Amino acid sequence: MTDFLWWRDGVIYQIYPRSFLDTNGDGLGDLPGITARLDYLADLGVAAIWLSPFYPSPDKDFGYDVADHCAVDPRYGTLADFDALVQQAHARGIRVVLDLVLNHTSDQHPWFQEARSSRDPSAKRDWYLWRDPRPGRSASSRLPNNWMSMFSGAAWGWEPATGQYYLHLFAPEQPDLNWRNPAVRQAQLDVVRFWLRRDVDGFRLDVFNAYFKDETLRDNPTQFGLAPVLRRKHVYDIDQPEMIPLLNELRGILDGYPERYAVGETSFATVEKAAAYCGPDRLHAAFSFEFTGLAGLGVGWGPRYIARKIQERERVFGAAGVWPTTVMGNHDVPRPATRYCRGEDDAPAKLAMALLLTLRGTPFLYYGDEIGMRDLNLRRDQIMDPVGKAYWPFLKGRDGCRSPMQWDGTPQAGFTTGRPWLRVHGNATQRNLAAQRQDPSSLFNFTRDLIALRKQTPALIRGALAVTPSGSPQVLAFTRTLPGQRILVALNFARRPARISPATLGGSSELLYSTRRSQRPEPRGGLELDPHEVCLLLGN
C-alpha cells in the first residue's frame, strides 16, 4: 500500500505496562520491559503501541488516578527510559500512543492537595468542582445533586476541613477537574504539548466526553437500571456542547505535527455518539465498544448479533465519513477468550481475532489476546479493583483481564523473577507465547499470519464492507472490496460443519486463508466449512 497511514491502516496494540514485562524483579512490569519486547511486537506486525498510564499514581485505580501527568512513576522507570522506549519503537517503525487521563486527577495530585486545603480561590480551589451541601436531613438529601459515580455510590466526596463536597465521577480518590476554568484547560493542553515534544505519536483520551459538566450541575433524569450509575440518564454529567470547541483546539495542536492522532474513550458509548466526536477538526477516532459492551455486560455473540452490529457501524460511521475502531478487549472488560471460549479451546477466540483484523476499522489488540489469555478467577479477598470491590459478586472487577503476560512456561511465565503484583494465570505452563510459537495451529500464529495477510491485502484494510447472506444461520459472511479486489470473509460460529451457498461465494473462488484442518472436498455448489472455521476467499 502506498498511502499507508499508521493509525488508520495498522494494528494498535494496547499494553498494560504493569503486567507486560518486569526487568528488575519487583513484580511490576516497567518501561524497560516494554522496550525489551519491541522486537516481539515488530515481528507480530503491529503499527503502534498504546500504553496504559505509567505516570506517578497512588494506584487507587491502578494508574488512572494520576498524581503528575508529566512524569514517569519511578516504579516503571524514568523519563530517560521513556525517551529510549520511544526512540527504539520509532527505529522499528512502531508509533507510540499515550493514555491521557485528563478528566480527573488523583487526590494526591498537588493541584488537589492545594485545592482541598482552603476555600481561597487563589489556592486552585476552582480547579475542581466544589459545592455546598443542600439543606436536608438525610445524608443523601444533602448531596449537591443526584449524580452517581461510575464505580459506586454517589459522585460526591465530603471534605470536612473546608465543609464542601467535591465531584468524582469515578473513585473518591479521583476528583474531577473543572474544565470550565481557563487555567485548567491551559494546564491540560500543556500536558498534551509536553508529550508531543517528547515525540509521542498520539493519545488515547480517557473518558474525554466527561470533561465538561452542566454548568449548574442539574440533577440527571432517573430511569430503571441494575447498578446505581445506570439508574440515571447521563444528560448533564457527560456530553456537554463545550466539548466540541475543546476538541477543535486540541486538534489544532495535534495538527501542528505530522501524522499525530487522538482516539477518545467514549463514556457510555454509542456508535452515533462516537462518530459525532470525530472529524477533520475533532478527534481522529472514538471508541464505540459494540463488541465489548459496558464492563462486558449486555453484549451478544453469534452471526446475527455481530452482523447487526457491523451494519450499524457501517451505516453510522460511513455516513459521518469517520474511520471506525474495532475493540475486542481492553483493560476494563473480560478478555474475548474468556467471553467466548470453553476450557482451553481457542477456536472461538480465532473468530473474535478474525473479526478484529478483517472488519473495516482500526484494530485495537489488547496484550495477551494474541495468545488467548483467559481472565483470572479471583476470590473476593484477592480483588484489588474498586469496581470489583463495589459490585462483587455481580461484577468481579477488572483485575481478571490484567494478569501478567504469559511469555513462557517457567514459574512466573517469564514475566518476573520476583513476586508478581497479580498472580500469573494457572494455565501459563501450557498457554504461553513460547509454546504457541511452536504450534502452527496456535492462536498466536493465526494472529500473526492474519496481521501479515492484512498488510498485503489492501481490500482487507481499506475495502468497503458489506454483510452478505451466507446461506447458513451459523455463518457470518461479509465482503471487503476495492476496485479489482474482493475478499469474502466467512466465519462459522458453530461447533458443527456448515455449508455456504454458491450465491454467497459469488466470484470468490481462490482460497486466501483458512483455519480448516481437514481436507476440503471438491466444492459442489457451495463451500463446506469446518466447525468454527475462519475462511478468507479471494475474488475479483
Cα distances (angstroms) measured from residue 284 to each of 94, 461, 466: 19, 17, 23
**Shortest Å, Cβ 338 to ligand NOJ:** 17
Cα Rg of the chain, angstroms: 24
**Grid cell locating 143:** 448531596
114 is catalytic: no
Which among Ca ion, ligand NOJ, none contacts residue 501 (Cβ within 5 to 8 A by kind)? none
Binding mask 239-268 for ligand NOJ (x = CB under 6 A): --------------------------x---
Question: Residue 6, SS3?
Answer: helix
Nearest residue to Ca ion, scored by beta-carbon proximity: 30
Which among Ca ion, ligand NOJ, none contacts residue 28 (Cβ within 5 to 8 A by kind)? Ca ion
Q: Which of 81, 99, 173, 265 is catalytic?
A: 265
Q: Is the dihedral of CA 373, 378, 382, 388 positive or negative?
A: positive
Binding-site size, Ca ion (CB under 5 A): 5
Give the strand pairing for 95-100 and 202-205: parallel
| 318 burial level (CB within 10 Å; 0-12, 13-18, 19+) | middle
- CA-CA distance, 537 to 471, in Å (whole number)? 16
Q: Which is nearer to ligand NOJ, 129 or 451 (CB)?
A: 129
Question: Residue 273, SS3?
Answer: helix
265 is catalytic: yes
- Per CB under 6 A, contacts with ligand NOJ among 163-192 are 170
Which among ligand NOJ, Ca ion, none contacts residue 207 (Cβ within 5 to 8 A by kind)? ligand NOJ
Which among ligand NOJ, Ca ion, none contacts residue 201 (Cβ within 5 to 8 A by kind)? none
- Per CB under 6 A, contacts with ligand NOJ among 189-228 are 206-207
Are the C-beta atoms of 509 and 539 separated by less than 8 Å?
yes
Q: Which is nearer to Ca ion, 26 or 239 (CB)?
A: 26
Q: Which is nearer to Ca ion, 418 or 523 (CB)?
A: 418
Which among ligand NOJ, Ca ion, none contacts residue 206 (Cβ within 5 to 8 A by kind)? ligand NOJ
Rounded to 5, what percent of the chain is helix, strand, coil? Answer: 30, 15, 50
Phi, psi of 348 (to 5 degrees): -65, -30
Using rule CB under 5 A, residue 28 touches Ca ion: yes
Which among Ca ion, ligand NOJ, none contacts residue 30 (Cβ within 5 to 8 A by kind)? Ca ion
Using rule CB under 6 A, residue 64 touches ligand NOJ: yes
Using rule CB under 5 A, residue 30 touches Ca ion: yes
Nearest one of 269, 352, 282, 279 to 313, comparing CA atoms:
269
Of 30, 61, 73, 81, the one binding ligand NOJ (CB under 6 A) is 61
Which among ligand NOJ, Ca ion, none contacts residue 24 (Cβ within 5 to 8 A by kind)? Ca ion
| 538 burial level (CB within 10 Å; 0-12, 13-18, 19+) | middle
Nearest residue to ligand NOJ, scored by beta-carbon proximity: 64
Instruction: Please tell me the number of Cα atoms within 13 Å of 261 on its side-chain side.
Output: 27
Listed in order, strand segments (DSSP E) in 234-273 are 261-264
Using rule CB under 6 A, residue 375 touches ligand NOJ: no
Of 101, 192, 359, 383, the one binding ligand NOJ (CB under 6 A) is 101
Q: Which is nearer to ligand NOJ, 179 or 444 (CB)?
A: 179
Number of Cβ within 10 Å of residue 483's Cβ equals 8
Using rule CB under 5 A, residue 24 touches Ca ion: yes
Q: Which of 206, 314, 528, 530 is catalytic?
A: 206
- CA-CA distance, 309 to 400, in Å (whole number)? 26
Chain residues that interact with Ca ion, rule: CB under 5 A:
22, 24, 26, 28, 30
> Active-site positions?
206, 265
Chain residues that interact with ligand NOJ, rule: CB under 6 A:
61, 64, 101, 170, 206-207, 265, 331-332
